[in-house]
Amino acid sequence: MLTTDYVPGAPNWLDLGAADTEAAVAFYGSLMGWRFESAGPEAGGYGFFTLGRETVAAVGPLTEEGARSAWTPYFHTRDAEATARTVEQSGGTVRLAPFDVFEEGRMAQFTDPGGARFAIWQPGRTAGLDAVNDPGTLCWTELHSPDPPRTWPSTARSSAGTPRRCPSPAGRTRC
């Protein structure tokens, strides 16, 4: 179960890279009741989805050439540089090397050997989302992979996750 008592490997942030942030804000505002709060002009269009007074996700413009709108889960780490090295040693790709996000923390973005994109967050002033597991907030993260044995070692070592094999009736692996 998710909690805001973040430990290494736990999901602690979620953001949406959107081709049209205004449309995304309107859509998720209507669907989830979220409000948008800009992180300010120095944040390049990035901002926070809030529910009540709590940050429950974030949204910003796409920054990679050819990228498509997508949600990115972030996992807590105590050491962004060490996690980036582990991702590379495990066959993953560092898409965005660790860097400071003002004084809030450090982040990096990766692709695992199976092609799944994810990120890490090393807390500074911001530990992570203010609320999870409540209605309208993050309550589950899941990786779908066509090749779990190839993907699991990298994901488990880099995020301290514990992968489980959950076969489906169609022969796919899922939980």
pLDDT in tens, 108-149: 999 999 899 999 999 999 999 999 999 999 999 988 777 766
Residue 103, burial from CB neighbour count under 10 angstroms (0-12, 13-18, 19+): exposed
**According to the model, what pLDDT value does residue 163 have?**
52
Q: Please say if the pLDDT value at position 55 is more than 70.
A: yes
Q: Please say if the pLDDT value at position 155 is more than 80.
A: no
Rounded mean pLDDT of the chain?
88
**According to the model, what pLDDT value does residue 171 have?**
53
**According to the model, what pLDDT value does residue 143 have?**
80
Q: Please say if the pLDDT value at position 175 is more than 50.
A: no
pTM as predicted = 0.86
Contact 3, 48 (CB under 8 A): no
**According to the model, what pLDDT value does residue 162 have?**
52
Whole-angstrom distance, CA of residue 11 vs CA of residue 30: 25
Q: Please say if the pLDDT value at position 100 is more than 80.
A: yes
Averaged pLDDT for residues 5-12: 95
Distances (CA, A) of 157 to 86, 125, 147: 7, 26, 17
Whole-angstrom distance, CA of residue 119 vs CA of residue 17: 12
Token representation of residue 155: 């994901």
Query: What b/e sequence results for 44-78 when a residue is b if at least 16 CB atoms lie within 10 Å of its CB, and e otherwise?
Result: eebbbbbbeebbbbbbbebeeeeeeeeeebbbbbe
Of 79 and 173, more confident: 79
**According to the model, what pLDDT value does residue 167 have?**
56
Please, which pLDDT band fits residue 81 given cuts at 50, 70 and 90? Answer: very high
What structural domains and CATH numbers belong to the chain? Answer: 11-159 (3.10.180.10)
Of 1 and 159, more confident: 1
Averaged pLDDT for residues 156-172: 52
Whole-angstrom distance, CA of residue 86 vs CA of residue 74: 16
